[in-house]
Amino acid sequence: MSELSGEDEKIITLARSARARTGAAEGAAVRDETGRTYSATSVDLPSLKLTALQVAVAMAVSSGAEDLEAAALVTGGDGVAASDVAAVRDLGAKAPVFLAAPDGTLRSTVG
C-alpha cells in the first residue's frame, strides 16, 4: 500500500477489519468530505442483499455526507462491480475506489 496516502491506507484497514470482524465475504469503507469514515460489510439476508460498498455509501448519506473523497473494497473476488462504482459515484463523482485483497494488498484503483 506504499503508493497510497495514510488516509487511503486507513480506509483499507477499516474495510479489512469490518470484514474480519463479521466473517463477511467483503468489507468496505468510505471517507467523506470532512474526513469522517464509514465501514461496512455485505448484507445477505433473505429479504435484503446489499454489497459492502452500498452499505458504506448509505451510512455516509444517512449521516449527512455530501461528497466522498475515497472508497475501499476488500474482497477475495475479482473486481469491483459496476453497481458499487455507481453507488460511490452518486455521492463522490471523483472518488477513487481502491480494490484490495483480504491481506490489504492494493490490487487496483477505479477512477
pLDDT at 97: 97
Contacts with 76 (C-beta within 8 Å, 6 or more apart), sequence order? 25, 101, 102
CA distance 2 to 21: 25
Tell me the pLDDT tens digit for each residue of 68-86. Answer: 999 999 999 989 999 999 9
Give the predicted TM-score (pTM) of the model: 0.93
Cβ contact 90:57 at 8 Å: yes
Contacts with 16 (C-beta within 8 Å, 6 or more apart), sequence order? 27, 74, 100, 102, 104
pLDDT at 1: 45
The domains located in the chain, with CATH, are: 6-110 (3.40.140.10)
pLDDT at 89: 97
pLDDT 10s digit of each residue in the chain, 111 long? 457 999 999 999 999 999 999 999 999 999 999 999 999 999 999 999 999 999 999 999 999 999 999 999 999 998 999 999 999 999 999 999 999 999 999 999 998
The three three-digit cell numbers of residue 103, written as one number: 491481506
CA distance 91 to 86: 9
Bridge partners (DSSP) listed for residue 71: 30, 97
pLDDT at 96: 96
pLDDT at 78: 87
On the 0-12 / 13-18 / 19+ scale of CB atoms within 10 A, 63 is exposed
